[in-house]
Every structure is written in C-alpha cells, then in structure tokens.
Amino acid sequence: MAFVEPVTLRDRGIRLEPLALSHEHGLAAAAADGELWKLRITSVPEPQDTRAYIEAALKMREDGNRFAFAVVDDATGKVLGSTSYHDIVPAVKRVEIGWTWYCQSVQRTHVNTTAKLLMMGHAFDTLGCHVVGWRTDNYNFASQRAIERLGAKKDGVIRGHALRRDGTIRDTVMYSLRAGEWPEARAQLLYLLDKPRPAAPSKE
C-alpha cells in the first residue's frame, strides 16, 4: 500500500483531486492564464507539453515519490492549477509540498493558503507525518514569502542544486515544519483565512 493513497480534499470552495489525464485541457488553460511557462523559476508546462507533464506526474505516483493534485474550483469545476506531495519518505514519515502553481487570476487569493492547509492537515493528521518540507528557487522570493507565511522554518540553502528550465543552475532554499509546530501553524492559517480581505478597487 502506498504511503499517500488517492484522496480528494475540500475546503472553502477549493477541491484537491488526484491529477489525471482528464485534467489536460483545464490545466493547459490555467497555465495560459498569465502565460506562466514563461517564468524561468517555475515548473509550469507549455500548452503542448501538458499531457507529458501529467504523464510524468502519474509515473512518479506509480514509483511512490510524488502524488500530484489538480486544484479545482469546487463550484464550477474550473482547474486553477496543480500542487503535489513529493520526495515522499515513508520510513521517516516525511513528505514535501511543491510543484505548486496557479493561474494568474487566483494568485494572491485564498486559494494557495486553503490548498496548503488541506495538504498540511492531511499530512500531519491523517498520514501521521513527523515533518513536512518545502523547497524553492533562491530567486523565487514570492514563493519563499508564501512558505514562511505557512509557519515553516528555513533549514538552509543547497548550492548549485538543480537546473532551471533555461539551463541555468539554481540554489535551492529548503524549509520544514515539524508535527509539534503544526497546531500553532494551523491556528495562524485559519486566522489569515478568516480575516476580512480588503475590497477590490472599483472599476467604475
């Protein structure tokens, strides 16, 4: 039995469901919202590569080291992006959360915080993980801020660690959150989600 079994997670109008080939067109449309593949610090597939992206994720699921989700608007069924558990180590009950991206129109909304709350909750409360980790490009400052808002602690930087899509070599910033820190992190995330958001400026 796999450490991470297929599951669908829901909260606050967001649904995380196992990524499948049926998500191909929705995922391609999400990537096109902002032409996200043009960002050198992300793993977003170009439209013609979306099927291969999903097939690679499914192969990694089969191998037991990644479990990818489609992030979906629960009311409309619109695919908003994708996120994954990866570097899954059952022996020490550790997973990392990554391969995360969202269409531009839902960035800086509650979507990412809600998705992370669902994934962290499932990891700690259902899978019994001792630690959840994150890794990001040293130049992806937005990602680093978002991870720190989750309550994760910076573990350090791995120098010359991985290739970017443009062929340059990145340093990787590593973060983690331990099980004993989860209750406080959860309370803070719920506070942020429940806090009223500023009204969008009028277009009139």
59 pLDDT more than 90: yes
**Residue 21: pLDDT band with limits 50, 70, 90:** very high
* pLDDT tens, residue by residue, 66-90: 999 999 999 999 999 999 999 999 9
Alpha helices in the chain (DSSP H): 24-32, 50-63, 110-121, 141-149, 182-194
Tracing tokens 């630690």 back to the chain, one arrives at 131
* pLDDT tens, residue by residue, 84-126: 999 999 999 999 999 998 988 888 789 999 999 999 999 999 9
Phi and psi at residue 106, in whole multiples of 5°? -110, 5
**Residue 203 has what pLDDT?**
44
Mean pLDDT score of the chain, rounded to an integer?
90
**Residue 198 has what pLDDT?**
58
40 pLDDT more than 70: no
**Residue 204 has what pLDDT?**
45
For residue 113, give the amino acid letter.
T
Q: In the β-sheet with 9-11, what is the strand arrangement from edge to edge? A: 9-11, 14-18, 66-73, 79-89, 94-102, 131-137, 169-178, 153-163
**Residue 107 has what pLDDT?**
85
**Residue 2 has what pLDDT?**
85
The full set of domains in the chain, from first to last, is 9-194 (3.40.630.30)
pTM score of the predicted model: 0.88
**Residue 41 has what pLDDT?**
60
